[in-house]
A and B are shown apart, each in its own frame.
Chain A
Amino acid sequence: MSNSVNISVETTCENQIREIAYDGTELYQPPPTLSESLAKCAARIDFSKTSLEDLKKEEKSAAAAEEDAKDANIFQESLWPWDAVRNKLKDAYTEICVLSDVISIAKDKRYLVLDPLLEDSDDTKPIVQVYTRKKAISQAAQVLLSGAERLRNAHSELRNPNVKDFHIELLRLRQNWRLKKVSNGAIIGDLSYRTAGSKFGMSGTFEVAKAEDVLDEETTTSNANSSGGNTPNTQISTNNGIQPNGSSSLRVIVPAELQGVAYIKVITQKDQEDLCTAQVNLMGHGPNITAQVGVWQKTLEFAQNVLFCKELFAQLAREAIQLQAPIPHVVIGNQIRATLLPNIQLIISLCHSTSFDSNQPAPINDHDHVLEHSLHQLLREVHYKNSHHPFPHPASAPLGPSKKRMIAGPTAADRDSLLEMTKTQTILEQIIAQAQHIFMRKRTQYVLDTLARDVKDPQIVSHWNAMNSPTMSCVKINIVTHGYDAFGRTSLVIHVKERSLKCICRDGRVMRLSYEPQELRDLILCQINSHQISCLVSLARCMAWTVLSNSNHLGIGKVEPLGNASSCLLASPNSDRMIAVQIRCDPQIDVKVYIARSPRQDFFPTPLVPEKFWENLGGNFKEVRFDKIEGKSFLNKMEFLMASLTSNTA
């Protein structure tokens, strides 16, 4: 069958093109003959890269590089692989021959003997061994001993609490004060109130350093267990040892202007007399930790106190100059003088003593804790307002107005309340208001107490409110007669403000008094006046006597120096006796009592008035010697009088 097709399989013509003629014909390099290909394979043989072979290769490449231009290069390359192979084989053959010769000679043992190699004998002496072992062991022992020493120290520290290590002191210091380390290794602390909101310019930085031992245990040996990196210049005293009690291994250096002890003294002076005094001091407040932590705590506390007092005084002085008061405030040196009331002055002074005397200055009498605390609180309030701003709701509202102002819009606040919100008081104004109020309160108390002591007949009882504000107090005064409390009690409330008093009586009358004590005294006397008459009216009703008339403001007789006279006219149950009472304020309470009999004893019919019945019109009033009547009080005497004048005859 000749259906099959002859297929010829040929390799592609992969011969290299040697030349391309100008007419496009290509001249191929003839494919390598079998011998050429064998030579190429032989050239690839790698005789385990002996140095000889490498050298030869290098030579070959060098030679090839040199003779690159020549045409004879091709020929030499084709011969070269065989040459290389031949040489390699020749060398290998030579070496094998030599080896076989050597082995045969060695086997003969006549000219060449093969002996095993002997090892080196160890020629060190035992003593050297001992020395090396000893050194090694002593080094190990050293390590162990130092470790044991450290453990022993730690144990002894735990047992003995008096040992003060610098680091423990530093830890205590850090627990109470703000410290930080600066670049040159020193430790700087801050005792100012900046973080609490103060804007005072004086810096309150202090430095912490190691205490140098005065009684030196002199070992400045290079015990390199110097604890921590501090200023490299400080002496490294043996801190591992136990320090002498009383001194600490830590020292603080405060700036010169904050050294010493300072306090602010507040005095109220009346014409060169001291009325009351206050000291402002931060000492004695807060937990006392000086006992456990040593001298530096006290130093720092004093320094902080000095800073606080300076800030307070600077603020007060600034306000004293800026404020305009009717009588201007005077600032001289470290004293501020302000006038509270005529003849009464408030003196605020900053006392700063730089010498460390342990005894406090002589305690000034009448130490006023209130003013002291107030000044402290006022400055703290300023600090607080500086650091706490009310958050605006919504968050896009401006930051600044107080919460009240922010809700003033939606709650339709009127103009007066908006105006109130804008008013602020400086520290000096506030402390002056408080001092004025304290003074007014003392004066009012004095007036009431002296009146209560002097006037015995109706008793004046005053109840002061326990809860007050720094600028207002209230007192309730009850005027009662002992034994007759049920008949009547006159009460009034007095609001004591900064420069005035406001009196509210039971009947609703409101009276405003000034700071003069005499006005209050007069008012109370007038109230006593009206009290007596009103109680008498109730008493008379009780005794079945008829009150014919009474008046609180009698306008007859001589003009009274104080207030108005009050009077009362009573008639007995039988209408046969009449009593007339007049009370005046002279300024002592002056009581006049008159009685009259109804059918006159001295009636004689005259031609003008002939009838007998005219005797019932009542006779003259005769004065009673009221001070001689038995009785403890006015009402008591009146009761006896009325009782004695009541007769049973119909």
Chain B
Amino acid sequence: MSTFSAHPNEINKVKVLVVGDSGVGKTSLVHLLVNGEVLTKSSWTIGCSVEVKIHEYREGSPGHRPYFVELWDIGGNNSHKSTRHLFYTSVHGIILVHDLANRKSQQNLRQWLVEVLLKEKSNPGSRDALVDNFDAEQFGALAKVYRANKIPVLVVGTRLDDLAETRPTASLPRTSPAFSASSLADACSADELSVSCLDVRSVAPGSGNAVKLSRFFDRVIDGQIHCNGRPGPLYSGQPNYGLKMRYP
């Protein structure tokens, strides 16, 4: 086991956004991933809450090094849309979270992906336009935009325990193919997970979910290295003020 000096300045970092509708369980999910325990007191996320996880990149191989994975959990409140775009700069990975018991949150994942990828500071009215006029053609455009960005995506469905209660016979709710999370995951070649944030065993080490998560983080770090040509920017003391803001 190699010993790494435990100084933050010597470990690289990647930034992963966790987005989804309000109330799907993003904060619980992030807490579960980072602390390995269930979040008891949950309240609405205002703005953005960050958790940092140390991911062992390429564990068990010569290229093994630890990486900081910053999980930026963005509050899904509709009225905060105008200011959220501040957090979307220099993103290396996206985790899309939806509620398995609420089909609409799956459909809204597309709007979230568009919002993050295009870093739009959109008006409240434009959301309706996207929802009502969404069709295959626009979805093709979305896939193009996505491929141009090449940011790894992971799709996570929460409230597996709720789903088991209300629909004990069905496995996953059947949504129309155009709008389901699975079709979105296919288009972005993303992995799909279903967890219950109340159950620590969902992401226990060695479980299928944990493997997929680890693979996702590895892909994110790969993308960052590839993007910069060398192992990514070291965490320096200077904050980066690369603000891209568009004002009318």
Q: Is this pair of chains taken from one and the same complex? A: no
Instruction: State the A residues within 8 Å of B (CB).
Output: none
Instruction: State the B residues within 8 Å of A (CB).
Output: none
